[in-house]
């Protein structure tokens, strides 16, 4: 619903655009004078200062209204239910750690925050006890601070049943959910941050089709139960933790149809499930080109892992600190996983290898004993050790897992494939350049020319 | 030479021009020998063999690693990179060491070295000329192999970027130069080409396998600390080369575990220079020693 009066009033009052920026108190006055439920559309321009919204209104900037707090406190604080912020450009919060300032801060809800651009802020959107809120289609870019000093892009605190979708976050710490249940988190993109999505004690949530790339960790679930991770694309998360997905003490997690590529570790399982009667499911994920495909602590148990493609990970599965994973099932009812390093065969053409996939590697076993030896990966000496182990079976270590029904072909994935970079053309140029220049040198140096030999030159023909 | 040039600039123009002529004559002699050596190399079997072998292996490794990655644009540190790295560390030192080992010892065995030394050339010029000629031949051979495998990667859109790949070519060339210098050092000390090749093979075995295996055993037995493992490892030019390539592809050595992380944190941006310094030292030292020995020993 729209109150034209307010709009007209606003237009009348604020028709004088100021190059240097009008004070935000002009909008604040509109808010204070508005009746609950009204829509406020300030005239386009830059407003300096911060806002405090104390009644249920809609503030719509239509993408042309900038509010700049100038580095002091939070930019917009919401202290009322049913507030909608739409189409605003919000910038310049305080950056002190103790202040926890934010672009948008709410202490009650529900609120709707959509189509905003929030830049140069400590926290992006910070909701406390705002159940039923919607955060949609915002772009949040944090301050250029070192990773640990940044604020969170989006933080939910005791806010159940929220929808968070189509947001883009850059340069922040985490998109983090504290004590918030029944959320819907989909189609968000988080880049260059610490943890893409971070769950603390937040249960019963679906996380679907998010794109998490270039963070320290893609998705980190901690002490959070019954979470479904579906069809997310998680790549190039290589920070100090460097997990695509990390599961710490979580029960009943389902990780299904995700793409995990080029992370330091694809999936890290730390004591999940932790309760005796719960299980974990890792199904139909593509886990490719990571340093370690699946890393698990030795106490990990009761996970069912099948129909995944473990493709060309430097190390397919590793046990943190050494040990075995026989308390987990690396196969479903009728099929296991695809392992790109499986060298068995399929005699009866049922799509399953005729003998189990049981990775054993003397070098990996030595690595588990002495991590410093990792220095020697990618070297001929590593190959020499593996060859020795194969030649002398008594040196061969025990396998760390067994997949009784390995797939001989990688499962199909419904995910969009990632486009190849534009490197092909430059690579082609490089290829031609290298070959041509070596040919040029060859011809130049071999074709006999008139050598104006000085007296000391030897002749040789 | 250049110092004479600088000193003479102000007061003795005549002196300066003599110095310049001497320098030019030095460079020209080296280039003449280099040209002869290069031409000999091109017409010899080893060059053809090495070029074909390296090219086939490089293309094979690229192709096999791409077969696994399929349509996806990225490959992490990647089987392509890891495969190429392994291949380079095995083959390039072998090529360079044996090529270097054959050069002086071969001429000595055939008796042609005395003929060369009878020319109005200093022994330093002869040795450096041979080194330069072989170096150009080796780098050409590598460039053909890399060029063709880059062509394959471009066609199949592999995970390695063109810039990283170019750096790989550069690092490999520098590695080849240092191994060639080592080969030449072996060569000036040997009377027969067969003996020189044998020693070169033993040195290759030592650098590629034995030193790493020894260091692994040491790490396990003595529980060496990260800084000790790192310091001992980078003495080996192959390890220094490997770390340089990984830094170039990956920006960090986290792939190499605790030792790599220590190196990245401790040395930061200077690490590539440190590693390159080690390899360059492995080039300059053997070549200088070889020159000294050759000047003393000459044709015999």
As a whole number, mean pLDDT of residues B52-78 equals: 66
Whether B172 has its CB under 8 Å from any CB of chain A: the answer is: no
- Distance CA(A274)–CA(B195), nearest Å, equals 65
Range of the structural domain that residue A98 is part of: 4-395
**Closest residue in A to B251 (Cα–Cα):** A238
On whether any CB of chain B is under 8 Å from the CB of A445, the answer is yes
pLDDT of residue A422: 53
Q: What is the largest CA-CA distance in chain B?
A: 69
Nearest CA in chain A to B157: A424
Provide CB contacts within 8 A for A106, sequence distance 6+.
Answer: A77, A78, A79, A83, A126, A127, A128, A130, A133
Determine the residue of chain B that is closest to A453 in CA distance: B28
Give the pLDDT score at B36.
87
Alpha carbon of B210: minimum distance to chain A alpha carbons (Å)? 8
- In this predicted structure, what is the pLDDT of residue A395? 75
Residue A371 touches partner B, C-beta closer than 8 Å: yes
Question: pLDDT (tens digit, 9 = 90+) per residue, B110-158?
Answer: 888 888 888 888 888 889 999 999 999 999 999 999 898 888 877 765 5
Smallest Cβ distance to B74: which of A235, A424, A458? A235
Q: Do A262 and B28 count as a contact with CB atoms less than 8 A apart?
A: no
pLDDT for the residue numbered A165: 96
Count Cβ–Cβ pairs < 8 Å, chain A vs chain B.
Answer: 219
Does the structure show a pLDDT above 50 at B74? no
> How sure is the predictor about A262, in pLDDT bands with cuts at 50, 70 and 90?
confident
Q: Looking at the domain assignment, is residue A167 inside a domain?
A: yes
| Confidence category of residue A423, pLDDT binned at 50, 70, 90 | low
Confidence of residue B107 (pLDDT cuts 50, 70, 90): confident
CB A244 within 8 A of CB A255: no
**Of the partner residues A373, A419, A442, the one whose CB lies closest to the CB of residue B42:** A442
Strands (DSSP E) found in A320-432: 338-339
Is A442 within 8 Å of B139 when comparing Cβ atoms?
A: no
Average pLDDT over residues A303-311: 93
Cα gap A419→A261, rounded to integer Å:
13
Most confident listed range (A129-133, A453-457, B73-77): A129-133
Surface of B (271-300) touching A: CB under 8 A: none
Name the DSSP class of A233.
Answer: E
State the pLDDT confidence band at B261, using cuts at 50, 70 and 90.
confident
Residue B80 above 70 pLDDT? no
Which has the higher per-residue pLDDT, B236 or A422? Answer: B236
- Give per-residue burial for A75-93: e unless 16+ CB within 10 Å, then b: bbbbebbbbbbbbbbbbbb
CB B178 within 8 A of CB B172: no
CB contact under 8 A, B74 and A261: yes
Q: Does A377 touch chain B (CB under 8 A)?
A: yes
Q: Which of residues 209-268 of A touch B (CB under 8 A)?
A: 235-236, 238, 242, 261-264
Chain B interface includes A62 (CB < 8 A): no
Please state the separation of Cα B7 from the chain's center in Å.
35
Closest residue in B to A381 (Cα–Cα): B209
Total structural domains within chain B: 1
Give the pLDDT score at B52.
92
Look at residue A9 and tell me whether its pLDDT is greater than 50: no
CATH number at residue A87: 2.160.20
Report the DSSP pairing between strands A189-191 and A211-213: parallel
Residues 137-166 of B with CB under 8 A from A: 139-141, 143-144, 146-148, 150-151, 153-155, 157-163, 165-166
- Structural domain contains residue A370: yes
| DSSP bridge pairs for A267 | A245, A294
Which chain B residues are within 8 Å of A318, Cβ to Cβ? none
CB contact under 8 A, A429 and B258: no
| pLDDT band at residue B98 under the 50/70/90 scheme | very high
CA distance A283 to chain B (A): 20
CA distance B35 to B29: 10
Our count of domains for chain A comes to 1
What percentage of chain A has pLDDT greater than the value 90?
Answer: 57
Measured on CA atoms in the order A95, A97, A99, A105, is the torsion positive or negative? positive
pLDDT digits (tens, 9 = 90+) for A101-134: 999 999 998 999 999 999 999 999 999 999 999 9
Tokens of B176: 């080849």
Q: How far apart are CA A103 and CA A299, in angstroms?
A: 42
Residue B182, min C-alpha distance to chain A (Å):
20
Q: Reply yes or no on whether the pLDDT at B201 is more than 60.
A: yes
Please check whether residue A387 touches B, CB under 8 A: no
Smallest CA–CA distance, residue B172 to chain A, in Å, is 14
Query: CB B258 to CB A371 under 8 A?
Result: yes
Q: Do A375 and B28 touch (CB under 8 A)?
A: no
B69 and chain A: CB distance < 8 Å anywhere? yes
Residue A429 maps to a domain: no
Express each pLDDT in A323-332 by its tens digit: 889 999 999 8
Give the model confidence (pLDDT) of A156-168 as tens digits: 999 999 999 999 9
- Chain A residue closest in CA terms to B206: A381
- H or E element: which one contains B265? helix B257-267
Judged by CB atoms closer than 8 Å, whether chains meet at A446 and B42 is answered as yes
Q: Is B78 on the interface with A (CB under 8 A)?
A: yes
Strands (E), A81-222: 83-91, 102-106, 111-114, 117-121, 123-128, 134-136, 139-142, 154-157, 163-165, 168-170, 174-178, 184-186, 189-191, 195-200, 205-208, 211-213, 217-222
At residue A251 the predicted structure's pLDDT band, cuts being 50, 70 and 90, is very high
Specify if A448 maps to a domain.
no
**Assigned domain for A440 exists:** no
- Structural domain range at position B150: 2-297
Indicate the SS3 state at residue A231.
coil
**pLDDT tens digits, one per residue of A31-75:** 999 999 999 999 999 999 999 999 999 999 999 999 999 989 999
Residue A219 lies in a domain: yes
């Amino acid at each position: 619903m729209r109150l034209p009066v307010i709009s007209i009033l606003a237009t009348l009052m604020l028709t004088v655009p100021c190059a240097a920026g009008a004070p935000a108190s002009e909008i604040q006055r509109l808010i204070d004078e508005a009746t609950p439920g009204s829509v406020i559309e300030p005239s386009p321009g830059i407003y300096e200062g911060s806002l405090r919204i104390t009644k249920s209104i809609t503030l719509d900037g239509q993408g042309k209204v900038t509010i700049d707090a100038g580095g002091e406190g939070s930019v917009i604080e919401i202290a009322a239910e049913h507030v909608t912020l739409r189409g605003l450009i919000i910038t310049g919060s305080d950056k002190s750690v103790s202040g926890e300032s934010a672009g948008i801060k709410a202490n009650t809800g529900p609120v709707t925050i959509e189509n905003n651009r929030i830049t140069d802020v400590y926290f992006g959107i910070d909701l406390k006890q705002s159940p039923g809120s919607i955060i949609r289609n915002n772009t949040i870019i944090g301050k250029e601070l070192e990773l640990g000093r940044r604020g969170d892009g989006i933080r939910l605190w005791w806010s159940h049943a929220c929808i968070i979708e189509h947001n883009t976050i850059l340069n922040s710490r985490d998109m983090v959910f504290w004590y918030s249940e029944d959320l819907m988190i989909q189609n968000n993109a988080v880049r260059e941050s610490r943890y893409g999505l971070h769950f603390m004690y937040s249960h019963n949530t679906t996380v679907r089709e998010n794109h998490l790339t270039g963070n320290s960790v893609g998705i980190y679930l901690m002490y959070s139960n019954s979470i479904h991770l579906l069809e997310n694309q998680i790549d190039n998360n290589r920070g100090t933790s460097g997990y695509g997905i990390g599961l710490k003490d979580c029960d009943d997690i389902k990780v299904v149809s995700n793409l995990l590529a080029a992370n330091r570790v694809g999936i890290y399982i730390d004591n999940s499930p932790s309760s005796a009667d719960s299980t974990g499911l890792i199904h139909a994920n593509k886990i490719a080109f990571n340093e370690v495909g699946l890393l698990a602590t030795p106490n990990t148990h009761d996970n069912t892992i099948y129909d995944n493609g473990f493709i060309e990970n430097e190390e397919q599965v590793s046990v943190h600190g050494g040990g075995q994973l026989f308390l987990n099932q690396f196969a479903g009812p009728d099929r296991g996983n695809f392992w790109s390093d499986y060298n068995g065969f399929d005699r009866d053409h049922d799509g399953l290898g005729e003998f189990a996939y049981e990775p054993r590697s003397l070098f990996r076993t030595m690595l588990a004993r002495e991590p410093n030896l990792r220095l020697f990966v990618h070297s001929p000496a590593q190959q020499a050790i593996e060859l020795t182990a194969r030649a002398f079976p008594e040196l061969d270590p025990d396998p760390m897992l067994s997949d009784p029904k390995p797939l001989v072909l990688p499962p199909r994935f419904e995910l969009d494939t990632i486009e190849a970079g534009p490197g092909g053309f430059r690579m082609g140029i490089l290829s031609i350049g290298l070959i041509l220049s070596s040919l040029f040198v060859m011809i130049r140096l071999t074709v006999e020319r008139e050598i104006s030999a000085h007296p000391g030159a030897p002749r040789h023909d | 030479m250049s110092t004479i040039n600088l000193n003479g600039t102000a007061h003795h123009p005549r002196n300066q021009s003599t110095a310049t002529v001497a320098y030019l004559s030095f460079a020209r002699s080296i280039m003449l020998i280099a040209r002869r050596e290069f031409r000999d190399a091109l017409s010899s079997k080893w060059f053809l063999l090495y070029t074909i072998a390296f090219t086939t292996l490089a293309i094979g490794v690229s192709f096999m690693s791409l077969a696994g990655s399929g349509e996806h644009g990225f490959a992490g540190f990647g089987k392509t990179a890891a495969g190429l790295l392994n291949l380079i560390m095995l083959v390039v030192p072998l090529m360079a060491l044996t090529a270097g080992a054959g050069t002086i010892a071969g001429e000595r065995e055939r008796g042609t070295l005395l003929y060369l030394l009878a020319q109005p050339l200093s022994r330093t010029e002869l040795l450096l000329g041979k080194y330069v000629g072989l170096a150009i031949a080796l780098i050409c051979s590598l460039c053909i192999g890399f060029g063709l495998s880059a062509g394959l990667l471009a066609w199949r859109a592999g995970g390695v970027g063109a810039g990283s790949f170019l750096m790989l070519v550069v690092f490999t060339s520098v590695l080849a130069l240092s191994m060639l210098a080592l080969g030449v050092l072996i060569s000036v000390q040997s009377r027969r080409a067969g003996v020189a090749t044998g020693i070169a093979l033993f040195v290759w075995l030592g650098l590629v396998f034995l030193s790493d295996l020894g260091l692994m055993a040491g790490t396990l037995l003595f529980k060496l600390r990260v800084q000790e493992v790192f310091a001992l490892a980078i003495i080996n030019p192959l390890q220094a080369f490997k770390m340089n390539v990984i830094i170039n592809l990956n920006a960090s050595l986290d792939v190499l575990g605790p030792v790599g992380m220590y190196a990245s944190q401790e040395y930061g941006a200077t690490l590539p220079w440190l590693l390159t310094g080690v390899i360059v030292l492995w080039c300059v030292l053997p070549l200088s020693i070889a020159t000294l020995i050759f000047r003393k020993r000459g044709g015999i």
